[in-house]
């Protein structure tokens, strides 16, 4: 079971890789829970705890950030697909083309205001349609708007976590570089002292 931290001992390469993989799996499990809960707090606490006790490897943070970026791209694609799907379904169901209403608008904005801004246009297009058809159209648009709202909330969360991880990785990279530079400078200084004593 993942321990949530890397050991303080100097591990062998194989042990270091196992620790790396365990920490990565734990991070992704927490990320999945955040996705289910639609709340990023648990993942942020996890990363902050890692940095406080023993900073996780920068490559690991970048790897997780890349996973977040892919999820973010999937959310954007999901919104695009939802828009294309509802446009196609409405054109098939009631022979209305709403492309002019969504032209130039971001998919998320258009989808989140689907019922408010587009349903009246659809309803006026089918004034004499049976009530069952109108209800079917309203339900279809409502389900699409709800799915879009979920995708947008996930997108906002992924953007926030991605930016935070990249900032943390950058900061840790700078600290690591400074530590290495100071160690090299100290070693060079000690060597010069010994050379001068010879």
pLDDT 10s digits, 88-118? 999 999 999 998 888 778 888 899 998 898 9
pLDDT tens-digit map of 26-40 = 988 998 898 888 888
CA distance 58 to 12: 19
> Could you identify the residue written with the tokens 């079971």?
1
Average pLDDT over residues 149-156: 94
Query: Is residue 80 pLDDT above 50, yes or no?
Result: yes
Burial tier of 99 (Cβ tally within 10 Å: 0-12, 13-18, 19+): exposed
Confidence category of residue 182, pLDDT binned at 50, 70, 90: low
- Angstrom CA distances, 136 to 81, 116, 130, stand at 20, 16, 10
Q: In the chain, what are the domain boundaries?
A: 10-56, 72-160
């Amino acid at each position: 079971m993942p321990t949530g931290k890397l050991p303080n001992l100097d591990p062998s390469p194989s042990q270091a890789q196992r620790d790396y993989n365990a920490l990565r799996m734990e991070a992704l499990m927490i990320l999945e829970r955040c996705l289910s809960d639609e709340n990023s707090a648990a993942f942020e606490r996890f990363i902050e705890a890692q940095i406080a006790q023993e900073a996780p490897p920068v490559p690991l943070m970048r790897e997780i950030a890349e996973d977040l970026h892919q999820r973010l791209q999937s959310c954007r694609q999901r919104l695009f697909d939802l828009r294309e799907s509802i446009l196609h379904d409405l054109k098939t169901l009631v022979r209305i083309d709403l492309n002019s209403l969504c032209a130039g608008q971001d998919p998320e904005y258009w989808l989140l205001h689907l019922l408010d801004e587009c349903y009246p246009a659809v309803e006026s297009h089918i004034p004499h349609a049976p009530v069952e058809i109108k209800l079917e159209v309203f339900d279809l648009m409502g389900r699409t708007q709800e799915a879009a709202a979920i995708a947008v909330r996930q997108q906002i969360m992924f953007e926030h976590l991605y930016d935070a991880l990249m900032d943390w990785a950058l900061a840790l990279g700078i600290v690591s570089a400074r530590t290495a530079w100071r160690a090299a400078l100290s070693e060079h200084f000690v060597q010069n002292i010994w050379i001068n004593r010879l």
